[in-house]
Amino acid sequence: MASVADASTVGDAAMALAASGYIITAFGGTGDNGFLLVGTRVQGDTTPRPPVVNPENIGEMLLEGYAVVGYVSNACILEE
């Protein structure tokens, strides 16, 4: 399952995938063009997989055993 989001909705998109049982396995994009999140799950498994979105301290998150799949910091959208 894939989800497309902009800088203001990327956290919500990650939460929606996780709430449906998807583990986010790929992430990419830019603030200007949007972000693509790819989720993978076992067929029929809908157990929520709560992600950590917007952590204040990534080092602490890594020590707790989380894997960083995507990281967005100060994504800005350029106006033309």
CA distance 3 to 17: 8
Domain assignment of residue 71, yes or no: no
Domain assignment of residue 76, yes or no: no
The pTM of this model reads 0.73
Q: Average pLDDT of the chain?
A: 83
Range of the domain at 52: 2-63
Max Cα–Cα distance, the chain, nearest Å: 44
**Does the structure show a pLDDT above 70 at 54?**
no
Q: How many domains, the chain?
A: 1
**Does the structure show a pLDDT above 90 at 77?**
no
CA distances from 52 to 8, 43, 57 (A): 16, 23, 11
Domain assignment of residue 30, yes or no: yes
The H or E element spanning position 22 is none
CA distance 43 to 20: 12
Domain assignment of residue 69, yes or no: no
Q: Could you tell me what percent of the chain has a pLDDT over 70?
A: 88
Domain assignment of residue 79, yes or no: no
Q: Which residues pair with 43 in a beta bridge?
A: none
